[in-house]
Amino acid sequence: MIQKTSWGVGLTAIFMLIILFGPWIAPMDPNVVDLSKRLQLPSAEHWLGTDQLGRDQLSRILTGGQMTVGISLMALGLSIMVGVPIGLFAGYLGGRVDWALMRLVDAFMAFPEYIVAIVISGLLGAGFFNLMFAILIVKWVGYARLVRSVVLQEKSKDYLLVAKISGAGSYTTLRRHLIPHVIGPVLALATLDIGKVILLVASLSYIGLGVQPPHPEWGSMLNEGRAYFTQASYLMIVPGMAIFLVVFVMNLLGNRLVEKFGSDRQEEGRDGITECS
Amino acid sequence: MQNKNWLLKRISEGILLLWIISLVSFAIVQVAPGDAALSLLRVDTVAVTTEQVEALRQEMGMNDPVYQKYFRYMGNLLKLDLGESVMTGRPVAAELSHAFPATFLLAGTSLLLTIVLVGIFGSLSSRFAGGWIDKFSTGFCLMGASIPTFWLGLLLIDLFSVRLHLLPAVGMANGGLILPSLSLAIAIAPPFIKIFRNSLIDCARQDFIRAARSRGISEKVIFMRHVLKGSLIPVVTILGVSFGSLLGGSVVVEVIFGLPGVGKLAIEAVTRRDYAIVQGFVLSIGILIFLINLAVDLSYRYLNPAISLKEAERQ
């Protein structure tokens, strides 16, 4: 199991490095159009071939990673920054605040993620920030709920009562006792969510509601090349494979982290049986 | 009696939730930028003057204060009037009821396929836990959760329609639902396979199973009558909850396979700013999910009577 953990971490590190330095590794300018070289099969000059406008596919994949994964990470970070405080307040304050916040959460949870994201990004119009906003709207709820449940669990324990009797104020209680308990589960949920968010970003871009051409982004590359798939199937295989591999590695890592932090699931972890996400 | 109280409480909560859902679907459109009047006129691709837009806005009541718009919206809603589509000029209710059958058909076949996948993989990998089939199923789950549904759909079309000419790429006739349901089922099944497998293993370890075995009851009867029923509870709950992701995923799948469902309708409406359709879509999805959750709760109580007994004890 130790070996497997390092596999996930190692692969993630390699992928992250490739994505981070992708634009500098890219052999050519991803946006240079050369119609004389359109739809070329993979060759020594263009390792992954060229697209319908003669752009180098390898360079577009390498630069596009920053867009796809970057947007996903930023959107997820925003969701955590919104969801965690709301969950902390709801759980810690309790009473009417909790009731009102949880009804708000219920209303958001009443709709499937994809549908909300599609409606919001569609109505706001395609684009970088609108896409992030749509994902924020969809994702903060999960973190608020998770944090609230952790806080409620901890609140009932005796040590918090002792802390209160010893004169710890709300700020100290939150900072010293509650937030440390929240970090592990939030991290575990976040690693499991990254893959889902990447899939969401790519799907929205594929439908045409996310990142717009000519920016290289894996989902919108699939959208752009759609008409040429029958002639040049590598145009379809390569960007999809990139999405699949990154999400796969993230899920691998996420499963390990959940085993580590999800104390409720120790039973399953002990048997050495790997989990599906 | 207890169940009746529970149902009443559930329904009153539901009415509150439905009201919030209606508020959300109203709010989404109010907050959204862009202008239905403008896009309505733009459909004709004739240059429009500001006066024309202003006149149409006035006519559509878009210059009224928000509360007036809200009362009008709620009033129409109570009369079950969802307005008219800007795209086609037909009532929204008609458009939706025209599109929902395709989505339901897709969701139904996908759900069926999901149940088959979960049943086969879940029971086999719990039977041979740790063996190669268990490992294979784990790998399948990880792949299924990582593969983009739209890409899987494209790959399936490329293989079965373009290369092998076995199944149609677009439309529902001649087995056209097979590929869309398959790509949706592969995306949805993984978590259930894992849950079903673990819950089968858990259940088989329980004392009452060992007791049954020691009484000499055959393995087949033990599995069918005791293990299976006990393991179904978590699966049923989450299968119901997953109906939402099934509907969400079907939007993408409908677009790829050109199925005339609500997902495709909604994407068209969203890009063309047909607010009435978007509102109707959001509202009907919200109501649908609420009804499904209610049904899941009911079946949950049927499968596990201990739940209502515990509630009775508490009161």
Name which of A1, A114, A115, A271 to mutate to probe chain B: the one with the most chain B Cβ atoms within 10 A of its Cβ.
A115
- pLDDT at res. A254: 81
Interface of A with B in 199-258 (CB under 8 A): 199, 202-203, 206-209, 219, 222, 229-230, 233, 236-237, 240, 243-244, 247-248, 250-252, 255
CA distances from B307 to B9, B204, B239, B301 (A): 16, 21, 19, 6
Which residues in chain A have their CB less than 8 angstroms from residue B286's CB? 110-111
pLDDT-derived band at A272 (thresholds 50, 70, 90) equals very low
Hey, are the CB atoms on B142 and A203 less than 8 Å from each other? Answer: no
pLDDT-derived band at B72 (thresholds 50, 70, 90) equals confident
d(C-alpha A266, C-alpha A166), whole Å: 34
pLDDT digits (tens, 9 = 90+) for B91-101: 888 888 888 88
Query: For B80, left (φ over 0), alpha (ψ -120 to 50), or beta?
Result: left
CB count, 10 Å around CB of B20? Answer: 17
* Six token digits for residue B229: 């029923």
d(C-alpha B199, C-alpha A232), whole Å: 45
pLDDT over threshold 60, residue A4: no
* Residue from the list A110, A207, A236 with its beta carbon closest to the beta carbon of B286: A110
On the CB side of A276, CA atoms within 13 Å amount to: 30
Percentage of residues in chain B with pLDDT exceeding 70? 85
Taking each helix axis from N to C end, the angle separating B275-303 and A113-124, rounded to the nearest 10 degrees, works out to: 170
pLDDT-derived band at A263 (thresholds 50, 70, 90) equals very low
pLDDT digits (tens, 9 = 90+) for B223-246: 777 777 777 777 776 677 777 778
Q: Which residue of A has its CA nearest to B135?
A: A274
pLDDT-derived band at B35 (thresholds 50, 70, 90) equals low
- pLDDT at res. A178: 82
CB count, 10 Å around CB of A61? Answer: 23
Q: How far is B42 from chain A (nearest CA, A)?
A: 17
Q: Which is more confident, B37 or A174?
A: A174
pLDDT digits (tens, 9 = 90+) for A212-232: 777 788 888 888 877 777 777
Q: Does A1 touch chain B (CB under 8 A)?
A: no
Q: How far is B124 from chain A (nearest CA, A)?
A: 15
* Six token digits for residue B177: 């639902």
* Residue from the list B21, B34, B198 with its beta carbon closest to the beta carbon of A107: B21
From the list A233, A209, A232, the residue with the least C-alpha distance to A220 is: A209
pLDDT-derived band at A82 (thresholds 50, 70, 90) equals very high
* Six token digits for residue A215: 């920016």
* Residue from the list B17, B162, B267 with its beta carbon closest to the beta carbon of A118: B267
Which DSSP state fits B129?
A: T
pLDDT digits (tens, 9 = 90+) for B248-288: 888 888 888 888 889 889 888 888 878 888 888 888 888 88
- pLDDT at res. A83: 92
- pLDDT at res. B95: 85
Q: How far is A199 from chain B (nearest CA, A)?
A: 6
- pLDDT at res. A276: 30
* Beta-bridge mates of residue A56: A50
**Which whole number is the average pLDDT over B105-118?**
88
Amino acid (one-letter) located at B237: T
* Beta-bridge mates of residue A50: A56
d(C-alpha A13, C-alpha A19), whole Å: 10
Which DSSP state fits B61?
A: T
pLDDT over threshold 50, residue A277: no
Q: A73 exposed, middle or buried (CB, 10 Å; 0-12, 13-18, 19+)? A: middle
Q: Which is more confident, B296 or B112?
A: B112
Ranges A17-31, A112-126, B78-92, most confident: A112-126
DSSP three-state, residue A63 = helix
* Residue from the list B148, B158, B290 with its beta carbon closest to the beta carbon of A233: B158
Question: Contact at 8 Å (CB) between A48 and A238?
Answer: yes
Instruction: Classify each residue of B72-92 as buried b or exposed e, where b means 16 or more C-beta atoms within 10 Å of its C-beta.
Output: ebeeebeeeebbbbbbeeebb
pLDDT-derived band at A262 (thresholds 50, 70, 90) equals low
